Amino acid sequence: MEKSYKAFTLTELLIALGVIAILCVIFLPVIFNMMPKQNKVMAKRAYYAAQAVVSDLINDDKCYPDKTSASGSSYRAGFDDGYGYKNCKLWGGEENTGTIESEGDKSVKFKTLFRDKLGLSGNGDTFTTPEGMSWSFSGGTGFSTSSPTSNGLYLVVDVNGSDEPNCSDTALASVTVCADTSIKDFDQFVMRIYTTGKIEIVGDWAEDAVQVNNALVDQ
């Protein structure tokens, strides 16, 4: 007795491929929209890196001893302390003894220590981290004892370095609004770092990416 073998006909195969193609057209956009955008992932990474550094610094009594109980000109709210201390490496310690006796620049002190906490050498307002993100201290009013909750520095982050679009949904400091209104995957945002150690995210897309309520990010 001869065995009978059944197989798909060419028509059936084409119909099956057509159904698969239709399903791909329907579901692939949904899947891609559900996946987090790379720039949002990097924005969250940048925020938590900055938060960790700021938290470490504001609680580092070698460089920022607690002076909130002091009075008069000795009072300090946090990063408004520009003095160097012998146990504070890079600012008053072994490598910079010149700032122990007289107060140095508060912002320069913070920037120097910030870079060091990220494991970066050198100085200056602009630097790049190993994952390719560009960081820049760009403006702000500086750290203030008299207005610690309203004064601070702007830290601009471009999460993909020099790659486009190099813009955001909010203009501030060196950040501009994207001229092309169809762009939704922004790559730049600003963090405002206050004297007290609070970090505020500026820009709706970055705040949404990080998913942090600015009212709750006091250190």
pLDDT digits (tens, 9 = 90+) for 39-60: 999 999 999 999 999 999 999 9
More reliable by pLDDT, 189 or 93: 189
Side chain identity at residue 34, one-letter code: M
More reliable by pLDDT, 122 or 128: 128
CA distance 162 to 13: 47
State the pLDDT at residue 216. Answer: 46
CA distance 55 to 8: 65
Hey, which bits of the chain come out as E strands?
A: 126-128, 134-140, 152-158, 188-194, 199-202
pLDDT band at 183 (very low <50, low <70, confident <90, very high): confident
Supply 154's token pair: 């702007």
pTM to 2 decimal places: 0.80
Residues 190, 140: contact at Cβ < 8 Å?
no
- Residue ranges per domain, the chain? 37-216
Cis peptide before 165 (omega within 30 of 0): yes
CA distance 156 to 50: 11
